[in-house]
Chains A and B, each alone.
Chain A
Amino acid sequence: MGSLRGTGIAGDEAVQRGQLQVFSAGDRRVYDQAWQMSLLDEALADGFPAVRWSAEADTAWSVLPRALHADIEWATDDLCHTRPVSVLCQYPAALQETTMETVCAMHTDGLRGSLVRTSPIPGGMAIAGEVDGTNAGMVHSALAAQSAATTGGVTTFVVELSGLDFLDLAGARALVTGTAAHRAAGGVVCLRAARPPVDRLLRLLGVDRFDGFRVEGA
């Protein structure tokens, strides 16, 4: 609740109205799928059109085995696609690379960082915002997870860049390394609709001439 203060969100009033519920990470019930479902059904029965929840997901690691937590994440991802539920899982940006990749794979609807957002599009992924050294690792992992998921059938993985305002050298490197496995497996990566400053940087660094890359306009 503390983090809501000063944001303009009237958290206390929302709690009084029964619209907002807050649980502590130590409350073991929050990791129980059956309990989550009963909470959801209750809210829908009360007339709410949908349910959103958000949690500091990494606190679960101190309470649950990682594998069990991963099962919950996958089930949650499924729930978001089958019921009127939106979930925002919070993770620290400085995760180990393999952990980051696993986390990215489990959140198929995309990632939000303080500067960057990724979201799935048909045959690929959109990246918007600013990519620099502070979030290049996250972008690398998101690309690696999503392009690996398409490597089997689809040979072209589209990275849509029309919403990307800024890309630096570390970010450009993430585009290259994050898609390296997909390209090494014979796949093509299409960098689409980059704005002029991003397009200029990609060409300056020769990304358009790297094996497996294609740079296209809108």
Chain B
Amino acid sequence: MDQLSPIHGGHYSHDLLLHEGDDELLEGTRAFVEQGLASGGKVLVHGTPERVAMMRSSLDSHPRLDFGLDRDLYTSPSSTLFAYQRMLAESPEPVELWATGTVPLGDDPAGHPAWARYESAVNASLRPYAFHGLCTYDTRTLPAATIAAAKATHPCLSTGGRRTLSPDYQDPADFLANPVAAVPDPPVARPVAMATLGSPMDLSGARHLLKASAESSSALARDTIDAFVSAVNEVLVNGLEHGGTRVSLTVWAEMSRLTCLVTDTGPGNTDPLSGYGYPASAGPRGLWMARQLCEDIFISDQPGAGCRVLLTTV
């Protein structure tokens, strides 16, 4: 494998450090932190309270070195992703940010794919910025599928101070088809509501239907429901603008989860990564906004014709 040059300040990088022990983890983290501080950038080490305590005791303090807890910074994949993007895009001064740690995968492997999709989306959302990530994964404790996902979502591997291209890396759009990304299908359960929209005049009725279904069939907080209604509304608006004459909405509700499917009869050819990039000043921003108001949005062409958008709440 060809060795790559060290990380360039000013450019995006998103490296993976697979480690089997704390020594490898510490050595890799220290090298990354030193390089970040030497570049003049801000450095963030994040993790659980235990991990942060360990890193604090092993790294020399520095005015540009910050430690952060996952429970504050990594609350959900979409909020973390857009918090990084907004910090980088909206800062009045150019920011160079070096961040290292392990995404909070949690004990339940069922929750890992959402963070794997986050790792992949980072490559779409943060690429224009001077962002450097070193993501550390412990191969002793994590399931094989989670390690496979990490290899597919990080363009470079960092091993013993050397950087090599990850042979398993996939572009974010391709990664969504990878089984480890676990992109959900629409639920098979019976929907709680369905509507067909033919014009923007139908939007208000669709919003009220969704809100009423969510309030009667789930136990979600009002803020979560309101945000989800806003996200679905923007997807419906997009469907009415670009997706032909009829747009369909299907709603599924569980106690702690809402799912909506929006389909249209337009030409399809949709970009599954729409809404991940920071919007241009006069550019469209409906999907970018919608992605920040729900857990995840999956965009694909429908079998047949048109576009299909699946939205889920946190």
Interface residues of A (CB under 8 A from B): 115, 130, 132-134, 166, 168-170, 196-197, 200-201, 204-206, 209
CB distance from A134 to the nearest CB of B (A): 5
Q: Whose C-beta in chain B lies nearest to the C-beta of A169?
A: B286
Find A132's partner among B203, B289, B293 (CB 8 Å cutoff): B203
| Residues from chain A with Cβ under 8 Å of B227 in the complex | 197, 200
Given contacts A130-B207, A134-B203, A204-B293, 18 further A-B contacts (CB under 8 A): A115-B204, A132-B233, A132-B237, A133-B203, A134-B201, A166-B229, A166-B233, A168-B230, A168-B234, A168-B237, A169-B234, A169-B285, A170-B237, A196-B226, A197-B227, A200-B223, A200-B293, A205-B285
Interface residues of B (CB under 8 A from A): 90, 200-201, 203-204, 207, 223, 226-227, 229-230, 233-234, 237, 285-286, 289, 292-293
Find B223's partner among A168, A169, A197 (CB 8 Å cutoff): A197
| Residues from chain B with Cβ under 8 Å of A115 in the complex | 204
| Residues from chain A with Cβ under 8 Å of B203 in the complex | 132-134
* CA gap between A205 and B230 in the complex, in Å: 13
Find A196's partner among B223, B229, B289 (CB 8 Å cutoff): B223
* CA gap between A209 and B92 in the complex, in Å: 12
| Residues from chain B with Cβ under 8 Å of A168 in the complex | 230, 233-234, 237
Could you say which of A115, A169, A205 has the most chain B C-beta atoms within 10 Å of its C-beta? A169
| Residues from chain A with Cβ under 8 Å of B226 in the complex | 196-197
| Residues from chain B with Cβ under 8 Å of A133 in the complex | 200, 203, 237
Q: Whose C-beta in chain A lies nearest to the C-beta of B223?
A: A196
| Residues from chain B with Cβ under 8 Å of A209 in the complex | 90
CB distance from A204 to the nearest CB of B (A): 6
CB distance from A58 to the nearest CB of B (A): 19
The 7 closest A-B pairs by CB, nearest first: A197-B226, A134-B200, A133-B200, A169-B286, A168-B233, A132-B203, A115-B204
* CA gap between A168 and B226 in the complex, in Å: 11
* CA gap between A180 and B314 in the complex, in Å: 36
| Residues from chain B with Cβ under 8 Å of A169 in the complex | 234, 237, 285-286, 289
Q: Whose C-beta in chain B lies nearest to the C-beta of A172?
A: B289
CB distance from A197 to the nearest CB of B (A): 4
Do the beta carbons of B200 and A132 come within 8 Å of each other?
A: yes
Q: Whose C-beta in chain A lies nearest to the C-beta of B225?
A: A197
| Residues from chain A with Cβ under 8 Å of B292 in the complex | 204
* CA gap between A134 and B197 in the complex, in Å: 14
Could you say which of A133, A206, A209 has the most chain B C-beta atoms within 10 Å of its C-beta? A133
Known: A197-B230, A200-B227, A204-B293. A130 touches B90 (CB 8 A): no
| Residues from chain B with Cβ under 8 Å of A170 in the complex | 237
User: Could you jot down 26 A-B contacts, CB within 8 Å?
Assistant: A130-B207, A132-B200, A132-B203, A132-B204, A132-B233, A133-B200, A133-B203, A133-B237, A134-B203, A166-B207, A166-B229, A166-B233, A168-B233, A168-B237, A169-B237, A170-B237, A196-B223, A197-B223, A200-B223, A200-B227, A200-B293, A201-B230, A204-B289, A205-B289, A206-B90, A209-B90
| Residues from chain A with Cβ under 8 Å of B90 in the complex | 206, 209
Do the beta carbons of A130 and B234 come within 8 Å of each other?
A: no
| Residues from chain A with Cβ under 8 Å of B207 in the complex | 130, 166
* CA gap between A56 and B204 in the complex, in Å: 25
* CA gap between A205 and B86 in the complex, in Å: 11
* CA gap between A205 and B278 in the complex, in Å: 11
Q: Whose C-beta in chain B lies nearest to the C-beta of A205?
A: B289
CB distance from B123 to the nearest CB of A (A): 23
* CA gap between A174 and B226 in the complex, in Å: 21
Q: Whose C-beta in chain B lies nearest to the C-beta of A170?
A: B237
* CA gap between A56 and B229 in the complex, in Å: 35
CB distance from B205 to the nearest CB of A (A): 10
| Residues from chain B with Cβ under 8 Å of A130 in the complex | 204, 207
* CA gap between A20 and B285 in the complex, in Å: 50
* CA gap between A209 and B285 in the complex, in Å: 17
Q: Whose C-beta in chain A lies nearest to the C-beta of B207?
A: A166
* CA gap between A206 and B227 in the complex, in Å: 16
Q: Whose C-beta in chain B lies nearest to the C-beta of A209?
A: B90
| Residues from chain B with Cβ under 8 Å of A201 in the complex | 230, 289
| Residues from chain A with Cβ under 8 Å of B234 in the complex | 168-169
* CA gap between A132 and B234 in the complex, in Å: 10
| Residues from chain B with Cβ under 8 Å of A205 in the complex | 285, 289
CB distance from A202 to the nearest CB of B (A): 11
| Residues from chain B with Cβ under 8 Å of A134 in the complex | 200-201, 203-204
* CA gap between A196 and B226 in the complex, in Å: 9
| Residues from chain A with Cβ under 8 Å of B233 in the complex | 132, 166, 168
* CA gap between A37 and B226 in the complex, in Å: 49
Q: Whose C-beta in chain B lies nearest to the C-beta of A129?
A: B204
| Residues from chain A with Cβ under 8 Å of B293 in the complex | 200, 204
* CA gap between A40 and B270 in the complex, in Å: 61
| Residues from chain A with Cβ under 8 Å of B237 in the complex | 132-133, 168-170
